[in-house]
Amino acid sequence: MLIRRAQTGDNLRILDFHARHPMQGALPLRFDRSPDYFALHRCHADDHRTWIAEDAQGDLKGIASLVVRDGYLAKRVEPVAYLGDLRVMPDRHLSRNWTDEVRRRLADLEHEAGVRYAYCAMIRDNRLATQSLLGARRAGRLGFEHWRGYSNVSVYGQRGLRSAPRAVPGVRVVQAQPRHADALRAFLDAESMGQPFGCVFSTDEFARRLQSWPDFGIESFLLALDAHDNLLGCVAPWDAGRIKRIVLEGLPRSIEAIRVAFNAVAPVFGRPRIAAAGEVLKDVYLTHLQARQRDPAVFAVLLDAAWLQVRSRYALMQLCLYDDDPLWPAVARYRYTRVPMDLYTLSGPGAAPALGRDSAACPDTCIPGFEIYLV
């Protein structure tokens, strides 16, 4: 078995591997990253590394990627890594070698780039992944530490007839313009600073996102402002379809029943139909979602404004809400499904554990600095 760094020429083989090996769980799914597997990584950060495992015949048997960027830990800036696309074919020998390889790559990152901490996300009921990566009895396990649970929330409708957007006295929602860019960047950075692993929204990083993300710009943002034009919150609906699409490989009976019932009335309400198993979902992500002091009232007006903007073009509006998140009450007026997920951290060989109530780097009571749309 050969484990090596992937090159541009491996693109089609990696895409084929993803297509043939979806993520398992109650809602098996895969990400269609064609035509360029590496495009999503470039949205995340300039520094990204992917490794593949090949057997003697040159067939792909595993893949993993690491994306390195600046992040906030205890309000200090340091390089952090996101460990993603972890997919390994069942094979005891390969699994052992793969774990050793990931450990070596993390050690290299600490030596080369000063990366002490990494994080990753897993579907909660993907037993194959959690057993192979987290199994306590497994010798030489990587040492993942559970960080925070969250749900990938897919909003597909509103409860009752079309309700008017909620109003909060002294708060209004506007679409961002170029003149808002500096204040918006500063707001995003200030909020992110209090979120472990949060993105550092430097002037260069914010400009990079606005310029390089497909179909994205300053006008993508909806801003919640007070009477003095101070920013209270923001969100940016983003269609990532040019570089990443979700395909559900199968639907549980309960969700299939929802899909069929919804599709029967969707045309009456001017809504797109929800895709069947095997088809690409027509969805949009709520990115850069921030509300000062995690205020559910501010989030509610932003959520309603985003829904009015996207409801006629997208069947699903995707967002991330954490277990015990103060923002949950704001979605009560919507119909949605949720996929339970978990975040885990990994500490480098020379670093103290990143996680825990007594940890300065990553207290488990904080809202994570995590962006589901870059997964």
Domain holding 210, by residue range, is 154-340
The one-character DSSP state at 338 is E
Are 191 and 111 in the same domain? no
Boundary of a domain, candidates 147, 177, 205: 147
- In angstroms, how far apart are the furthest CA atoms of the chain? 66
Task: Please check whether residues 12 and 140 belong to one and the same domain.
Answer: yes
pLDDT at 132: 62
- Quote the distance between the C-alpha of residue 371 and its chain's center: 4
Whether residues 100 and 133 share a domain: the answer is: yes
Residue 66, C-beta contacts closer than 8 angstroms, at least 6 positions apart: 48, 49, 50, 81, 82, 83, 84, 105, 106, 109, 118
**Separation of alpha carbons 222 and 171, rounded Å:** 13
| Same-domain pairing of 305 and 164 | yes
Same domain, 94 and 206: no
Task: Please indicate, yes or no, whether residues 125 and 239 belong to a single structural domain of this protein.
Answer: no
DSSP alpha helix (H) spans, 178-252: 181-193, 203-212
Q: With beta carbons less than 8 A apart as the criterion, state whether 82 and 70 touch.
A: no
Q: Are 142 and 345 contacting, i.e. CB atoms less than 8 angstroms apart?
A: no
For residue 354, the model assigns a pLDDT of: 64
For the entire predicted model, the pTM comes to 0.91
Same domain, 137 and 252: no
Please give the pLDDT value at position 27: 78
Looking at the fold, whether 290 and 171 belong to one and the same domain comes out as yes
Q: Which of 99, 129, 147 is the last residue of a domain?
A: 147
Inside any domain, residue 356: no
Residues 334, 220 share a domain:
yes
126 domain residue, yes or no:
yes
Segments of the chain with pLDDT less than 50: none
Q: Residues 181, 286: one domain?
A: yes
Evaluate whether residue 345 is within a structural domain: no
Predicted local distance difference test score (pLDDT) of residue 175: 98
51 is a domain residue:
yes
| Residue 265 confidence (pLDDT) | 92
Query: What's the total number of domains in the chain?
Result: 2
- 223: domain CATH number is 3.40.630.30
pLDDT for the residue 347: 84
Contact in structure between 6 and 41 (CB atoms under 8 Å): no
Q: Which of 147, 173, 208 is the last residue of a domain?
A: 147
- Could you tell me the CA-to-CA distances from 324 to 12, 138, 158, 327, 331 in Å, in that order? 41, 31, 22, 9, 13
Kindly state whether residues 37 and 16 are assigned to the same domain: yes
Judge if 78 and 174 occupy the same domain.
no
